[in-house]
Amino acid sequence: MLTLPKGYRYAAGYAGIRKVERDDVGLIVSERAAEAAGAFTTNVVQAAPVKLARKHLEQTGGKAQAIVVNAGNANCATRTGAAAARETVKAAAKALGIPASRVLPASTGVIGVEMEAARIVKILPELAKGLSPDRFEDVARAMMTTDTVIKTASQEVELAGGVVRVAGMTKGSGMIHPNMATTLGFVMTDASIEAKHLRPMLRAGVERSYNRLTVDGDMSTNDTMVLMANGASGVTPSRAERDVVAELVGWVMEDLAEQIARDGEGARKLIVVRVLGARDEAAAVRIARAIGNSPLVKTAVAGSDPNWGRILSAAGASGVEFDPRKVDIDLQRVAVCRGGVAAEFSEAEMKKKLDAEECRIRFTIRGGGTGQARFWSCDLTEKYIEINASYRT
Amino acid sequence: MLTLPKGYRYAAGYAGIRKVERDDVGLIVSERAAEAAGAFTTNVVQAAPVKLARKHLEQTGGKAQAIVVNAGNANCATRTGAAAARETVKAAAKALGIPASRVLPASTGVIGVEMEAARIVKILPELAKGLSPDRFEDVARAMMTTDTVIKTASQEVELAGGVVRVAGMTKGSGMIHPNMATTLGFVMTDASIEAKHLRPMLRAGVERSYNRLTVDGDMSTNDTMVLMANGASGVTPSRAERDVVAELVGWVMEDLAEQIARDGEGARKLIVVRVLGARDEAAAVRIARAIGNSPLVKTAVAGSDPNWGRILSAAGASGVEFDPRKVDIDLQRVAVCRGGVAAEFSEAEMKKKLDAEECRIRFTIRGGGTGQARFWSCDLTEKYIEINASYRT
C-alpha cells in the first residue's frame, strides 16, 4: 500500500505516441508551486525535454508545479525536438493555468524519430480535467516502456511538526547504467523544504540508488530524476529533521532502483552485490559495479552456475588493486571461495539455491579497509536479446 | 593457405584436462632459442602460467624456445596453481632438452578448479616426439575453448636479405575485452630481431588489433600474447626493414583480432566500427569502443534493426565531448543519420542489408579533428546466453 504525499494530483491517457493502445502520457501536478531539484543524464547526446527541464529549473531557481511525461518516443536526435518539447509544455501550462516555466517535460522511448507533439497537446486539456490524487499508479504505468510491472515506492515519518510523506515512481528496464541519475524517476514529498536543500538530498539519494544499478551498462539520452517538495503537509522539517527526510528519499530511491533491476529486460533474477573490505567506498563501488556489469557473471547467474571464478575475474578487472589471496566470495550466503581459491561446497546444492529469484553475491577482502557498497543488477537471459533485437519492430 | 615461418615445429594431444576428448595441449617449439616479447593481462587476478611466463621472459632477458599451452583449465585462483605451472614447464623442458626458463606456459579454460598437471606431464614426451613443422593448425585447434573455428593468419615479405615470414594463432570468443592484450595469441617470425626491438613491435601490434576488439567487455585472467623471432630465415632486417616486419606483425594481429570478433560467442555477424573526425586517435577509440561494447547496438545488429539512435546514444555516453548536430552515421555504407537526425532511407532495404554477415558502422564527426579508429565487435544473440549460462555444465 502506497502512502501518498498530500497536495499532488495525477492523470494519464493515450495520445497515440506508442503504437499499442496503452496510456503513453502522464501528468503529475502539485496544487501549489513546489520546490524542486533535478538530476539529468550526463550523455553528451541529450534529448530535447532534458534540455528544457534543466532550463526551466534554472529559470525558476528550483520551482516546479507539473511534470508531463510520455513514453513511446524519446524526442531525442530529432529535427523538431526542441519545438515539440516547448509545445507540449506550453499546452500543459495552459491546461493547468500555470506558467510554462513551472512545467518539466520528460520523454522515453525510441531515439531519432520525430515526435508528433500535437498528439500530446490534443489530450492535455482532458488529462487536466481528469487529475486525481488517486491516479499515482496510472502515471507510473503510462511511462513504462519494456517494463513488465509498474515501479512505485513510498515512506512516511512523523516529525515534530507532524507527518510527512515521500512517494516515487520510476520506469526502465533496459539502457540502465550505473554512473548517473538513470532512467526517469519522480519523487514527491509534502514536506516543506527549499530547493537549495532538495538538491543535496537528490544527489545523495541518486548516489546510493540509481548510481548503483546496472542492467546492461548502457546510458540513456533521456535520464531525468526530479524531486519535488510542495509543503502541503504543513510541516517544515528542522535542520536535523531534514536528514531524516533525506534518508526517506534515499529509501524510496533504493526501493525504486531495486525494482528496476528486478524488472531488468529479460531478467528472471535480481542480483544484489555487496562488497566489503575495500580501501574506501569508491573502490567498493568500482568492484561491485564490475561484478554487476559482467555479462559472464550475469549469464552464470541465469544458468544457476556457481561460477565464482568469473566473479573474481570481473573484480580483478575493475581497476582496483587487491590481493586475490585475501578474497572470500559467498553466493546465497554459502562460502564458495575462501582466500582466493575454491571453498568446499556442494555444487548440486548451490545450483538449487541459485534457482531462487534473488542472487546474493558477497565479495569480501579480508583485512582490507572499511569501504563497502551495495549494487543491484540482474541476470542476463535469452529474453534480453529477444526484446532488444526487435524493439522497434 | 598459411605461409609458415621456418624453424618452428608444433604438436598437440589430449591430456584429459577438458572433459570432451579433443586435443587440449599444444606445443610450439623453435629449433633454436628465439628472441621473444610478451604482453599479459592487466587483471589483478592473474593465472599462475601468466606469472611464470612473465618471470621467465625477465630471467632470460627475452629468450624463449617453447610455448606449452592448454585449454580446459585456466589454472587460476587455485591452491596448487604455481606448482602445476612449474611442473608442466619442467616436463616440457625435459622432453625438449632445453632450460625450463625458455619454456613459456599459457592456460585457458575454467577458473578456480585445481589443475592436474600430471596429466599434461604424462603426454609431453609423446608430444615432443610428434613435433612437426606442419602441425601449426593442430595447436590452434587444441587451444580452442568455446571457439567454433580455428584462428590463424600469416604474412610474408621479401627484404634485401631474403624472405621473412610471420604467422600467428589465437583463440577466444568470450571474455574478450578491448583494453589489453586479450586472450591467448602466439605470433612467430623467422626474421632475426632482438627482443628489445620485438617489444615495441608487439605493443604497437596489440594496440591496433587486440586492444580494439570486444565481444562482451569481460577481461580475462589469463591473457597472454607472445611474439617470437628465431632468425631461421637467415635474414636480419635493417632498421628500416624492421618497420616493415612490424607492419606485417600488425596485419597478422589485426587478422586474428577480426577472426575473434567474427567467432564471438553466439555471434552471427561481425561488426566493424569506424570512427572519423574525432579530436584525436584516443577519442576515436573511446567512441568506437563505446559503440562496439553497447549491448543495445549489438542486439539491434542481431535483429537487423537500423536503430542508429542507439549508436548515437552509445557514442554520447563514451565520455568524449562532441556536438551531436555534427554527427553522420552510415550503416552498410548507407546514410542513416545526417547532422544528428534521421536521414532518408528505406527501412525495409536497410533491414535486408543488415542481414549480411558483416555490419559496417561508420560514425563521422563533421569538421572534427583527424582522429580515427577501427574497432571490431560482434552481434549479441540468444546463443551467447546459452553458451555462458551453461559453460561449466
B182, B183, B224, B381: the catalytic one is B182
Q: Do B315 and B290 form a contact (C-beta atoms < 8 A)?
A: yes
pLDDT at B296: 84
Given a cut of 90, is residue B326 above it in pLDDT? Answer: yes
**Mapping DSSP to helix (H, G, I), strand (E, B) and coil, where does residue B81 land?**
helix
Q: How distant is the Cα of B231 from the closest Cα of chain A, in angstroms?
A: 37
Cα A363 from chain centre = 24
Contact state of A45 with B315 under an 8 Å Cβ cutoff: yes
Does the pLDDT at position A31 exceed 70? yes
Is the per-residue pLDDT at A217 higher than 70? no
Length of chain A: 393
Task: Kindly state the percentage of chain A with pLDDT values over 90.
Answer: 70
CATH architecture of A270-389: Roll (3.10)
Interval A354-381: pLDDT, tens: 999 999 999 999 988 999 999 999 988 8
Q: Read off φ and ψ for residue B263, nearest 5 degrees.
A: -100, 20
Q: What is the mean pLDDT of residues B142-162?
A: 92
Segment (H or E) for A192: none
- Reduce the DSSP state of residue A350 to 3 states and report it: helix
Is residue B391 less than 8 Å (CB to CB) from chain A? yes
pLDDT in tens, A275-318: 999 999 999 999 999 999 888 899 899 999 999 988 998 999 89
ipTM over 0.85: no
Most confident of A333-337, B255-259, B292-296: A333-337
Q: Which of A41, A45, A79 to mutate to test the interface with B (most CBs of B within 10 A)?
A: A45
CB pairs under 8 A between A and B: 210
Element (H, E) at A57: helix A48-60
Instruction: Give start-end residues of each CATH 3.10.20.340 domain in chain A.
Output: 270-389
Pick among B179, B308, B385, B393 to test the A interface (most A CBs inside 10 A) = B385
CATH of A8-262, one of 1.10.1200.10, 2.60.40.1840, 3.50.50.60, 3.60.70.12: 3.60.70.12
The residue type found at B251 is W
- The pLDDT of B222-237, averaged and rounded, is 94
B315 contacts on A by Cβ (under 8 Å): 45
Q: What is the pLDDT of residue B393?
A: 41
Check CB contact of B302 with chain A, cutoff 8 Å.
yes
Distance from CA of A132 to the nearest CA of B (A): 36
DSSP three-state, residue B61: coil
Q: What is the mean pLDDT of chain A?
A: 91
Round to whole Å and give the CA distance between A216 and A379. Answer: 10
Q: For residue A209, give every residue at least 6 positions away whose Cβ sits within 8 Å of its Cβ, in sequence order, or none.
A: A250, A253, A254, A256, A257
How far, in Å, CA of A335 to CA of A238, rounded?
Answer: 46
pTM of the model: 0.82
| pLDDT tens digit sequence for A168-202 | 999 976 544 433 334 899 999 999 999 999 999 99
Q: How does residue B265 score in pLDDT terms, banded at 50, 70 and 90?
A: confident
Q: How confident is residue A218, by pLDDT bands cut at 50, 70 and 90? A: low
Strand partners, A360: A272
Coil, strand or helix at B377: strand
Tell me which range, B111-115, B122-126, B177-181, B339-343, is most confidently predicted by mean pLDDT. B122-126
Whether the predicted pLDDT of A222 surpasses 90: no
Q: Where in chain B is the domain with CATH 3.60.70.12?
A: 8-262
Which residues in A lie closer than 8 A to residue B46 (C-beta atoms)? 316, 324
Q: Tell whether B264 lies on the interface with A, counting CB pairs under 8 A.
A: no
Residues facing residue B334 across a β-bridge: B331
Chain B residues whose CB is inside 8 A of the A76 CB are 309, 313
Q: Which residues of B357-393 are buried (b: 16+ CB within 10 A; e: fewer)?
A: eebbbbbbbeebeebbbbbbbbbbbbbbbbbbbebbe
What 3-state DSSP class applies to B166? strand
